[in-house]
């Protein structure tokens, strides 16, 4: 059977020993974040993304081996398992190959071939396939196999029944299937046509469309699939049938035979009636899976960038959720996101109470010391932004403002979690609070929203929802554990993503905190109900305690390595209290050779390296490296734009064909992938990520359709 560690090592270009060690860690029940952070010696330093890929492929290969065992059992039960077939099945490296080999033995519904076999026409089929008769009349030979009672009462019908058996046998041959699958994949194309050519839809570019299977980009596959699902398009896979049939003839037809003509007829029938439709379904499924996998990766990458957006610390926020008829809901939050005040203002049509709205904002700035205004980017955002900019100019307040992506805020505000966190508040106030909090700490707030509702991908509602949820949950878990969590302030939503902690234990931690006060020592986690030794080992290093009894609890050093950290501090000549004072900036110099230090301490070099980094800057937030939040835009309306205008903007979404940039007007501008750099860019993700601040120039303006084209190449 397949050597899984060896196969994974070859596929992922890793050493077999590190793959085997990683598999052992996974099988022991360790979480991916824990393995990535605290078992680098075993994994060779694999990051969480690579580990998740390995974990996914491990599950696939184990399922493959289980399926092989099941198929071997089934074929053996039918008495059809030969040594050669067993060897082929055991050597198969893909599920498709295994299923191809099993196809002749799979129970089928009644077919033309099964009816012919039941009528005793298999010997005639063997004669035709054997191609040993060079003389004679095929129909005369077929006459000896007539079976009137079964519906084969003439030589022609008997011969046709034999050809039906051959057609099915050829279609069931794994090697024929593999050859024609490869041919279709290399030479075939996807073609689409309008269901109603006279109807104007967004799919008009696909009304008479064809593109090679090997070249069609993933976003076009998803667009065509959606058009077909909505009944706007008819889609086919096209491949040259004559070439395909010729390939079968070269493999099957041998020498001169009186059955050469009928045999070729059977091969053509096999391809057109059985093989081509099956391959069409396969190609469509394969393309869809490829496109969905890529879209999920793009969605995951965008979500990761959004979650890693830097927090705006120390901000007292006036959060405004814009609207028209019902007004703009306003929530004032202190530095920790606690609600201080709320109201509704009406700066937008139909009321347009601009002066009254400005007075309310001025009062909040004076009364609560608010220094940042966060405006949601939904309906009414542009008009609200104009009023806020005018307020700052008129009143001269030391207040900045920015636009916040409000995707998913309404989902959170109407959720059970929101009602539990903010009892007694209406949905609109919760929505405004969420906007303000996602500026203060994006990660802590966005984990409360189902990742697919954040809206930073393409065709997310058309994707395999189980695969999407799994991938995004992994991304959130990776980010939460990379950043670390304050044990005494984190919500249950955030704690639930920490390695080794589920939703129930997270609620238990919050309940323990509320009953017993703040945690002062990581070891207190063991007192939380249902948080056993294994869970403690997985989660402890990711949970931070500021001002606790042990300064190491405020770092990413795992409790299992406290003795090593203490010895490093001792050798450096500093006490643990230095960590509470901001760390030891020159710890790397004090530590000297890390290789020698690791050897002397009997520890792994990666562990020692990570400990020294933590002692230099305890609890460093990796989000500090992200681009800063952009405040106060100069452009506030579509009418302000002109071609050639230079702008600063924030990347809101990255898709296969480009990136959408928030430039301060209601409609995001699009930078096509061809206009992202002077060099060739295969995918926008090579150049930008969600949350990046970029400089762009307006390249086109479609005022009628409200579309803005941008370029990141000056003069491009």
Supply the CATH number for residue 41's domain: 1.10.10.650
Q: Which two tokens stand for residue 261?
A: 């003509």
Question: Quick check: 635 pLDDT over 60?
Answer: no
Asked if residue 669 and residue 551 are part of one domain, the reply reads no
Supply the CATH number for residue 511's domain: 1.10.150.310
Question: Quick check: 639 pLDDT over 80?
Answer: no
Residue 11: the pLDDT is: 93
Is residue 148 in a domain?
no
Asked if residue 529 and residue 493 are part of one domain, the reply reads yes
User: Among 617, 635, 532, which residue's Cα sits nearest to residue 581?
Assistant: 617
User: Among 675, 680, 710, which residue's Cα sits nearest to residue 696?
Assistant: 710
Please state the domain count of the chain: 4
Asked if residue 377 and residue 335 are part of one domain, the reply reads yes
The pLDDT confidence band at residue 643, using thresholds 50, 70 and 90, is confident
| Residue 22 burial (CB count, 10 A) | 26
Question: Quick check: 698 pLDDT over 70?
Answer: yes
Is residue 587 in a domain?
yes
CB 443, CB 480: distance < 8 Å = yes
Residue 298: the pLDDT is: 87
pLDDT per residue as tens digits for the range 548-593: 999 999 999 999 999 999 999 999 888 888 887 788 888 888 888 9
Asked if residue 659 and residue 606 are part of one domain, the reply reads no
pLDDT per residue as tens digits for the range 136-166: 899 999 999 999 999 999 999 999 999 999 9
Question: Quick check: 402 pLDDT over 80?
Answer: yes
Is residue 231 in a domain?
no
Is residue 469 in a domain?
no
276's torsion region: left (phi>0), alpha (psi -120 to 50) or beta?
A: alpha
The pLDDT confidence band at residue 630, using thresholds 50, 70 and 90, is low
Asked if residue 563 and residue 538 are part of one domain, the reply reads yes
Question: Quick check: 131 pLDDT over 80?
Answer: yes
User: Among 136, 140, 132, which residue's Cα sits nearest to residue 156?
Assistant: 140
- If one compares 691 and 345, the residue with the highest pLDDT of the two is 345
Q: Which residue has the tokens 């303000």?
A: 436
Is residue 195 in a domain?
no
What proportion of the chain, given as a percentage, has pLDDT over 70? 97
Query: What DSSP character marks residue 344?
Result: E
Asked if residue 430 and residue 355 are part of one domain, the reply reads yes
Q: Which residue has the tokens 């075993």?
A: 42
Residue 656: the pLDDT is: 86
Asked if residue 507 and residue 544 are part of one domain, the reply reads yes
| Residues in Cβ contact with 85 at an 8 Å cutoff, skipping those fewer than 6 apart | 75, 101
83, 105, 127 — which closes off a domain?
105
User: Among 399, 408, 443, which residue's Cα sits nearest to residue 321?
Assistant: 408
| Residues in Cβ contact with 564 at an 8 Å cutoff, skipping those fewer than 6 apart | 601, 603, 607, 608, 611
Angle between helices 155-172 and 122-130 (to 10 degrees): 70
CA 635 and chain centroid, separation: 33
Is residue 20 in a domain?
yes
Residue 633: the pLDDT is: 52
CB 146, CB 155: distance < 8 Å = yes
Is residue 208 in a domain?
no
CB 184, CB 239: distance < 8 Å = yes
State mean pLDDT over 441-468: 81
Question: Quick check: 636 pLDDT over 70?
Answer: no
Asked if residue 695 and residue 599 are part of one domain, the reply reads no
Asked if residue 598 and residue 679 are part of one domain, the reply reads no
State mean pLDDT over 28-47: 95
Residue 705: the pLDDT is: 79
Supply the CATH number for residue 689's domain: 2.40.50.140
440, 473, 498 — which closes off a domain?
440
Residue 418: the pLDDT is: 87
405, 440, 475 — which closes off a domain?
440
Residue 627: the pLDDT is: 65
State mean pLDDT over 258-284: 96
Asked if residue 613 and residue 707 are part of one domain, the reply reads no
CB 660, CB 652: distance < 8 Å = yes
Asked if residue 489 and residue 597 are part of one domain, the reply reads yes
Is residue 32 in a domain?
yes
Averaged pLDDT score across all residues of the chain: 91
Q: Which domain holds residue 59?
A: 4-105
Radius of gyration of the chain (CA): 33
Residue 451: the pLDDT is: 76
CB 340, CB 333: distance < 8 Å = yes
Asked if residue 520 and residue 411 are part of one domain, the reply reads no
């Amino acid at each position: 059977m397949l050597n899984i560690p060896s196969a994974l090592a070859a596929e992922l270009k890793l050493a077999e020993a590190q793959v085997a060690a990683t598999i052992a860690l996974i099988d022991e029940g360790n979480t991916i974040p824990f393995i990535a952070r605290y078992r680098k010696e075993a994994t060779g330093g694999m990051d969480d993304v690579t580990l998740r890929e390995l974990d996914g492929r491990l599950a696939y290969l184990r399922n493959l081996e289980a399926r092989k065992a099941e198929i071997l059992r089934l074929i053996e039960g039918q008495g059809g398992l030969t040594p050669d077939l067993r060897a082929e099945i055991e050597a198969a490296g893909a599920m498709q190959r295994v299923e191809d080999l099993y196809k002749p033995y799979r129970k089928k519904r009644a077919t033309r071939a099964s009816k012919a076999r039941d009528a005793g026409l298999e010997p005639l089929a063997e004669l035709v396939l054997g191609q040993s008769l060079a003389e004679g009349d095929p129909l005369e030979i077929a006459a000896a196999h007539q079976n009137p009672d079964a519906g084969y009462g003439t030589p022609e019908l008997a011969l046709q029944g034999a050809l039906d058996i051959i057609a099915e046998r050829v279609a069931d041959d794994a090697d024929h299937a593999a050859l024609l699958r490869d041919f279709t994949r290399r030479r075939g194309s996807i073609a689409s046509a309008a269901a109603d050519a006279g109807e104007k839809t967004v799919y008009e570019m696909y009304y008479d469309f064809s593109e090679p299977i090997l070249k069609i980009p993933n976003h076009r596959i998803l667009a065509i699939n959606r058009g077909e699902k909505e009944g706007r398009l008819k889609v086919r896979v096209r491949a040259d049938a004559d070439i395909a049939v010729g390939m079968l003839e070269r493999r099957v037809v041998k020498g001169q035979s009186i059955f050469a003509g009928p045999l070729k007829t059977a091969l053509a029938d096999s391809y057109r009636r059985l093989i081509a439709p099956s391959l069409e379904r396969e190609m469509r499924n394969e393309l869809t899976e490829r496109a969905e996998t890529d879209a999920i990766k793009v969605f995951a990458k965008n979500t990761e960038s959004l979650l890693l957006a830097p927090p705006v610390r120390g901000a007292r926020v006036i959060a405004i959720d814009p609207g028209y008829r019902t007004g703009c809901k306003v929530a004032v939050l202190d530095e920790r996101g606690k609600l201080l005040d709320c109201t509704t203002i009406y700066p937008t049509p139909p009321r347009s109470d601009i002066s009254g709205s400005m007075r309310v904002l001025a009062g909040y700035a004076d009364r609560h010391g608010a220094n940042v205004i966060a405006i949601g980017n939904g309906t009414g955002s542009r008009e609200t932004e104009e009023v806020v900019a005018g307020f700052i100019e008129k009143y001269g307040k030391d207040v900045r403002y920015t636009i916040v992506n409000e995707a998913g805020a309404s989902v959170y505000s109407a959720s059970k979690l929101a009602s539990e966190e903010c009892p007694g508040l209406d949905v609109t106030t919760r929505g405004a609070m969420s906007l303000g909090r996602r500026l203060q700490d994006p990660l802590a707030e966005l984990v409360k929203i189902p990742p697919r509702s954040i809206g930073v991908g393409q065709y997310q509602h058309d994707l395999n929802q189980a695969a999407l949820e799994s991938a995004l949950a992994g991304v959130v878990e990776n980010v939460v554990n990379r950043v670390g969590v304050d044990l005494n302030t984190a919500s249950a939503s955030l704690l639930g993503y920490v390695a080794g902690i589920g939703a129930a234990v997270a609620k238990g931690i919050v309940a323990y905190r509320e009953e017993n006060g703040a945690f002062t020592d990581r070891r207190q986690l063991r007192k939380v109900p249902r948080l056993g030794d294994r869970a403690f080992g997985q989660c402890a290093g990711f949970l931070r305690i500021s001002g606790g009894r042990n300064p190491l609890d405020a770092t990413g050093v795992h409790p299992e390595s406290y003795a090593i950290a203490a010895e490093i501090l001792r050798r450096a000549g500093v006490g643990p209290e230095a960590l509470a004072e901001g760390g030891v900036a020159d710890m790397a110099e004090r530590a000297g050779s890390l290789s020698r230090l690791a050897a002397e301490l009997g520890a792994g070099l990666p562990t020692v390296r990570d400990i020294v980094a933590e002692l230099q800057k305890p609890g460093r937030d990796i989000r500090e490296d992200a681009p800063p939040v952009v405040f106060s835009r100069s452009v506030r309306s579509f009418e302000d734009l002109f071609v050639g205008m230079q702008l600063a903007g924030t990347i809101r979404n990255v898709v296969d064909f480009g990136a959408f940039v928030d430039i301060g007007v209601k409609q995001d501008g699009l930078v096509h992938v061809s206009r992202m750099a002077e060099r060739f860019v295969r995918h926008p993700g090579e150049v930008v990520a969600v949350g990046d601040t970029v400089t762009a120039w307006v390249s086109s303006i479609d005022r009628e359709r409200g579309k803005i084209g941008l370029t990141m190449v000056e003069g491009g």
